[in-house]
Amino acid sequence: MKIDMHVHITPEEISRDALKIGEKEPYFDLLSRTPKNQFATAEEIVAEMKKVGMDKSVVFGFSFQDMGLCQYVNDYVIEKVKAYPSELIGFMTVVPNHPDAPYEIERCYQAGLKGIGELFPAGQPFEISNHKDTAAFAECCKAYNLPVIVHMNEPVGHDYAGKTETSFKEIEAFVSHHPDLKIILAHFGGGIFMYEMMKEIRGLFKNVYYDHAASIFLYDESIYRVMREIGLLDKLLFGSDFPLLSPARYEASIEASGLNKEEKMKFYGDNAVRLLQECGISLGES
């Protein structure tokens, strides 16, 4: 089974009104105005994934500052997961430090959503290193056994839209505050995975996973071998960042990675299946 763990889904109304919404949502405005930005409906996602041979996609709406907009996109995800139960696994989005976050998490969980993502610590905003900002949110996620996807990026190199200043120290604090929470750090965690060579970080990050979304813009294919050498290949998840990139765009770098067939299958889906099943998510038949 091949699973794409990082797919953005957008209601047509949000796409249509993006400029107006952006007037009150600066991070959304920043990303939506970039030349490479695209929006995708559920139907477009299902069609693309069928074309490229992905069995299931984990989909989530944009993480807005406004809880009302988060609820709106969550409603869309709930509706479309019911329409495409074999193809889509729905995650929800919330503002973690909002007083209504636990209620929204419960509502969406009861409606069939299975995780949280993709949170933008610098864009919503909330202080991810502040225990007070994340305590109620994290406790609710742990109560329902929900994995959480968090946006990260590398602290060096060229600037681009969406590159934030969330630091490794802040992520370490978040993980330290909630060591039992299953956390997926997007975009190779911005490189923080390298510090799992430190024994204390390896122990602390026992429930931390990484997706490779947008990696072809940043890293060469040797990064997969580095993950293997460090012993982290079991924690690496396929994530395309569609519609920014189709899963097919990664095929060349994966083929050149030096991973064997078994290792590629771990990355393409086996690791995701194990994680999702640990979270009580039934995958059914592809």
CA torsion through residues 198, 206, 286, 247, sign: negative
**Which pLDDT score, from 0 to 100, does residue 284 have?**
72
Q: pLDDT, tens digit, for every residue of 113-141?
A: 999 999 999 999 899 999 999 999 999 99
Joined together, the tokens standing for residue 131 give 């225990």
Q: How far is CA 67 from CA 38, 96, 101, 104, in A?
A: 23, 10, 8, 9
**Which pLDDT score, from 0 to 100, does residue 36 have?**
79
How much of the chain, in percent, has pLDDT values that exceed 90?
Answer: 93
Tell me the whole-structure pTM to 2 decimals.
0.96
Task: Over range 46-72, report the average pLDDT.
Answer: 98
Q: How far is CA 275 from CA 3, 55, 134, 237, 279, in A?
A: 11, 16, 22, 10, 6
CA torsion through residues 229, 182, 14, 120, sign: negative
Alpha helices in 205-270 (DSSP H): 222-230, 251-255, 261-265
The distance in angstroms from the start CA to the end CA of the chain is 7
Measured between alpha carbons, how far is 11 from 23 in angstroms, rounded to an integer?
18
- E-strand ranges in the chain read 3-8, 56-60, 88-90, 116-119, 148-150, 183-185, 208-211, 236-237
Tell me the sheet residues that pair with 59: 7, 90
**Which pLDDT score, from 0 to 100, does residue 286 have?**
40
Is residue 265 predicted with pLDDT exceeding 90? yes
Confidence of residue 34 (pLDDT cuts 50, 70, 90): confident
CB atoms within 10 A of CB 144: 17
